Amino acid sequence: MGKQGVPLIRSCKIDVMTARAQKAGTSSLKAMLEQHPSINSHIPLECDYFAQDSDDWDAYYHAHFGSDAMSKVTLGKLAHLAQSPWYLTKLYEHNSRASRRCVEGPFV
Protein backbone atom coordinates (compact mmCIF):
# COMPACT_ATOMS: atom_id res chain seq x y z
CA MET A 1 0.00 0.00 0.00
CA GLY A 2 1.16 3.48 -0.83
CA LYS A 3 0.61 6.70 1.08
CA GLN A 4 -2.82 7.16 2.66
CA GLY A 5 -3.89 3.58 1.89
CA VAL A 6 -3.76 3.97 -1.90
CA PRO A 7 -2.69 0.65 -3.45
CA LEU A 8 0.57 0.71 -5.36
CA ILE A 9 0.20 -0.23 -9.02
CA ARG A 10 3.11 -2.18 -10.44
CA SER A 11 4.26 -1.66 -13.98
CA CYS A 12 4.76 -4.62 -16.27
CA LYS A 13 8.49 -4.06 -16.45
CA ILE A 14 11.36 -6.41 -15.78
CA ASP A 15 12.35 -6.23 -12.10
CA VAL A 16 15.20 -8.75 -12.20
CA MET A 17 17.18 -9.81 -15.27
CA THR A 18 19.59 -12.76 -15.24
CA ALA A 19 22.41 -12.67 -17.72
CA ARG A 20 25.54 -14.65 -18.39
CA ALA A 21 27.22 -16.64 -21.13
CA GLN A 22 25.31 -19.46 -22.79
CA LYS A 23 25.53 -22.82 -20.99
CA ALA A 24 26.21 -21.10 -17.65
CA GLY A 25 23.08 -22.30 -15.87
CA THR A 26 20.71 -19.39 -16.53
CA SER A 27 17.91 -21.70 -17.74
CA SER A 28 18.17 -23.85 -14.61
CA LEU A 29 18.17 -20.75 -12.42
CA LYS A 30 15.10 -19.37 -14.26
CA ALA A 31 13.29 -22.71 -13.81
CA MET A 32 14.01 -22.71 -10.08
CA LEU A 33 13.10 -19.06 -9.48
CA GLU A 34 9.84 -19.13 -11.44
CA GLN A 35 8.51 -21.82 -9.11
CA HIS A 36 8.23 -19.19 -6.38
CA PRO A 37 4.64 -17.88 -6.12
CA SER A 38 5.79 -14.22 -6.08
CA ILE A 39 7.80 -14.46 -9.31
CA ASN A 40 6.48 -14.24 -12.84
CA SER A 41 8.68 -15.07 -15.81
CA HIS A 42 8.35 -15.30 -19.58
CA ILE A 43 7.05 -18.47 -21.19
CA PRO A 44 9.75 -18.79 -23.91
CA LEU A 45 13.22 -19.84 -22.75
CA GLU A 46 14.73 -16.40 -23.46
CA CYS A 47 13.38 -12.88 -22.98
CA ASP A 48 14.79 -11.66 -26.28
CA TYR A 49 12.98 -8.30 -26.29
CA PHE A 50 16.23 -6.52 -25.41
CA ALA A 51 17.97 -8.11 -28.40
CA GLN A 52 15.27 -6.89 -30.81
CA ASP A 53 14.95 -3.55 -32.52
CA SER A 54 11.46 -3.02 -31.14
CA ASP A 55 10.04 -0.55 -28.66
CA ASP A 56 6.64 -2.20 -28.19
CA TRP A 57 7.22 -3.70 -24.75
CA ASP A 58 3.50 -3.97 -23.94
CA ALA A 59 2.82 -6.18 -26.97
CA TYR A 60 5.88 -8.32 -26.20
CA TYR A 61 4.92 -8.61 -22.53
CA HIS A 62 1.35 -9.71 -23.19
CA ALA A 63 2.51 -12.27 -25.76
CA HIS A 64 5.29 -13.81 -23.62
CA PHE A 65 4.39 -13.40 -19.93
CA GLY A 66 1.54 -14.74 -17.81
CA SER A 67 -1.57 -12.65 -17.23
CA ASP A 68 -1.38 -12.48 -13.42
CA ALA A 69 1.97 -10.74 -13.20
CA MET A 70 0.93 -7.34 -11.88
CA SER A 71 1.29 -8.45 -8.27
CA LYS A 72 4.54 -10.34 -8.82
CA VAL A 73 8.22 -9.69 -9.35
CA THR A 74 8.91 -9.91 -13.07
CA LEU A 75 11.94 -12.04 -13.97
CA GLY A 76 13.68 -11.96 -17.34
CA LYS A 77 16.44 -14.17 -18.67
CA LEU A 78 18.65 -13.63 -21.70
CA ALA A 79 21.83 -15.67 -21.61
CA HIS A 80 23.89 -13.42 -23.86
CA LEU A 81 22.54 -10.08 -22.56
CA ALA A 82 25.82 -9.13 -20.88
CA GLN A 83 27.73 -9.53 -24.17
CA SER A 84 26.28 -6.39 -25.72
CA PRO A 85 26.34 -2.83 -24.35
CA TRP A 86 23.32 -2.12 -26.59
CA TYR A 87 21.24 -4.80 -24.83
CA LEU A 88 22.22 -3.46 -21.41
CA THR A 89 21.41 0.10 -22.44
CA LYS A 90 17.99 -1.00 -23.66
CA LEU A 91 17.36 -2.80 -20.35
CA TYR A 92 18.41 0.31 -18.40
CA GLU A 93 16.11 2.51 -20.51
CA HIS A 94 13.30 -0.02 -19.99
CA ASN A 95 13.62 0.11 -16.20
CA SER A 96 16.56 1.90 -14.63
CA ARG A 97 15.62 0.36 -11.27
CA ALA A 98 15.79 -3.23 -12.56
CA SER A 99 18.24 -5.47 -10.82
CA ARG A 100 20.77 -6.95 -13.22
CA ARG A 101 22.50 -10.10 -12.10
CA CYS A 102 25.34 -11.94 -13.77
CA VAL A 103 24.92 -15.59 -13.01
CA GLU A 104 27.89 -17.76 -12.23
CA GLY A 105 26.98 -21.32 -13.07
CA PRO A 106 26.39 -24.10 -13.50
CA PHE A 107 23.30 -24.63 -11.35
CA VAL A 108 22.54 -28.22 -12.31
Indicate whether 107 belongs to any domain.
no
Domain-located, residue 62: yes
Structural domain total, the chain? 1
Can you tell me whether residue 67 is helix, strand or coil?
coil
Check: CB of residue 50 under 8 Å from CB of residue 90: yes
Q: What CATH number did the domain enclosing 32 receive?
A: 3.40.50.300
Domain assignment of residue 82, given as a range = 7-102
In a domain, 29, yes or no: yes
Report pLDDT digits (tens) over 61-80. 888 886 666 678 888 888 87
Instruction: Please check whether residue 44 lies inside any domain of the structure.
Output: yes
pLDDT per position in the chain (108 positions), as tens?
Answer: 334 444 434 457 888 888 776 777 888 888 999 899 988 899 998 998 888 888 888 888 888 886 666 678 888 888 877 777 888 888 888 888 777 655 444 444
